[in-house]
Amino acid sequence: MRILIEPSAEQAVSRTVGLIAEQMHRNPASVLGLATGGTMEAVYAGLIEAHRAGGLSFAGARSFNLDEYVGLSGAHPQSYRHYMQDRLFRHVDFPRGATHLPRGDAEDPVAAAQQYEARIAAEGPIDLQLLGLGTNGHIGFNEPTSSLASRSRVTCLAPSTLEANSRFFGPGEPQPGTAITMGIGTILEARRIVLLATGAAKAEAAAAMIEGPLSAFCPASALQMHTDATVVLDEAAAARLTQRAFYLWVARQDPDGGLFRPRPHGRMTPVAN
Please give the residue ranges that form the binding site for ligand F6P (CB under 6 A). Answer: 35-39, 132-134, 161, 165
- 198 vs 243, beta carbon nearer ligand F6P: 198
Please count the other Cβ atoms lying within 10 Å of the Cβ belonging to residue 82. 16
β-bridge partners, 178:
156
State which H helix or E strand residue 189 sits in.
Answer: none
Please count the other Cβ atoms lying within 10 Å of the Cβ belonging to residue 207. 20
- 60 vs 185, beta carbon nearer ligand F6P: 185
Residue 136 annotated in active site: yes
Identified catalytic residue from 6, 127, 143, 211: 143
Q: How far is the CB of 240 from ligand F6P (least distance, A)?
A: 16
Helix axis angle, 9-26 to 38-52, nearest 10°: 50
Q: How far is the CB of 124 from ligand F6P (least distance, A)?
A: 20
Residue 211 annotated in active site: no
Identified catalytic residue from 51, 65, 136, 235: 136
β-bridge partners, 161:
none
Q: In whole angstroms, what is the distance from residue 247 CA to residue 250 CA? A: 5
Identified catalytic residue from 6, 51, 65, 67: 67
Identified catalytic residue from 117, 127, 138, 226: 138
Half-sphere exposure of 4 (CA within 13 A, CB side): 24
Helical residues (DSSP H) of the chain, grouped into ranges? 9-26, 38-52, 80-87, 109-123, 159-165, 184-188, 203-211, 244-253
Q: How far is the CB of 198 from ligand F6P (least distance, A)?
A: 8
- 128 vs 268, beta carbon nearer ligand F6P: 128
- 175 vs 215, beta carbon nearer ligand F6P: 175
Q: How far is the CB of 239 from ligand F6P (least distance, A)?
A: 16
Residue 138 annotated in active site: yes
Output the residue with the shortest Cβ distance to ligand F6P. 132
Q: Which residues are catalytic?
A: 67, 136, 138, 143
